[in-house]
Amino acid sequence: MIFRLLSTALPVLVSLLFSAVAAAKPPGLTLANVYQKGMPLEGYWVSEKFDGVRAYWTGNRLISRGGHEYRAPAWFTRGFPEHPLDGELWMGRGRFAELSGAVRKLVPVDQEWRKIRFMVFDFPVSGMPFDQRLLRLQATVARVGSPFLAVVRQQRATTHEALMARLDAIVRAGAEGLMLRRGSSVYHAGRSDDLLKVKHYRDAEAVVIRQLPGEGKYEGMMGSLLVELENGRRFRIGSGFSDAERASPPEIGAVITFKYYGHTATGLPRFASFLRVRDDEPPR
């Protein structure tokens, strides 16, 4: 009886152990700094910043930036190349919450995944400049011919004025912003000016420490959140919430994304406003 139980449980335990080890090694992703007026634009490519979930194709599975697997249906990734791709799972502008709910499920729902595309913006090959990686990426995706795999459209950047005009137009159309990639840059992990976010505001993440009660029309609801930044500094966020979010606020310990406009004299985010709960990591 004991032998039978061990023979049944052992494969499951080994599978869980393997998953835990695999998840312990997040991919080394290229991360973005923030574009500032006056930065040189020569040699950069510009593309839409998608309101999606960052995903990395390892050659046989899709994983999150934390190293956990997105359980995409087999038909979704059928034909994907056997080498890595860097991109975002995307459902459309303004549909982040719907997308996040779909990709985080342990058992994927075909109807939801048929609305999703893997928008690829880089080909993680060491030592090759982005100008060449883009050409290889376009050729690879064209050869695959999958309806669920697409290359993010890139155009050469020109002037600051043209960049701002494009930003205004794309934001009016419902997009989040733009991205700039240096054509001469090689793929590497970490944050640098090789990749830049272009938005009307800055955004960052913080951990919820406490839910503070509301007053007046928000009596009986959450009024603001006490949050903590990565550097340990704490402050309150009281705007950007819908009534539904105030009635059922982010839980203590949740990671939220907020937008802000510069910093105060003490170094805290100025005019911070809630954007969303950052729930793009699939369950372990």
Known catalytic residues are: 49
Residues 6+ apart with CB under 8 A from 32: 179, 191, 195, 196, 197
- Amino acid letter, 205: E
User: Contact 260/273 with Cβ under 8 angstroms?
Assistant: yes
Element (H, E) at 117: strand 117-122
By three-state DSSP, how is residue 99 classified? helix
Q: CA dist 200 to 21, 166, 175, 177, 193, Å?
A: 40, 12, 12, 8, 18
The H or E element containing residue 156 is strand 155-156
At position 178, the amino acid (one-letter code) is L
The span from the CA of 271 to the CA of 165, in Å, is 24
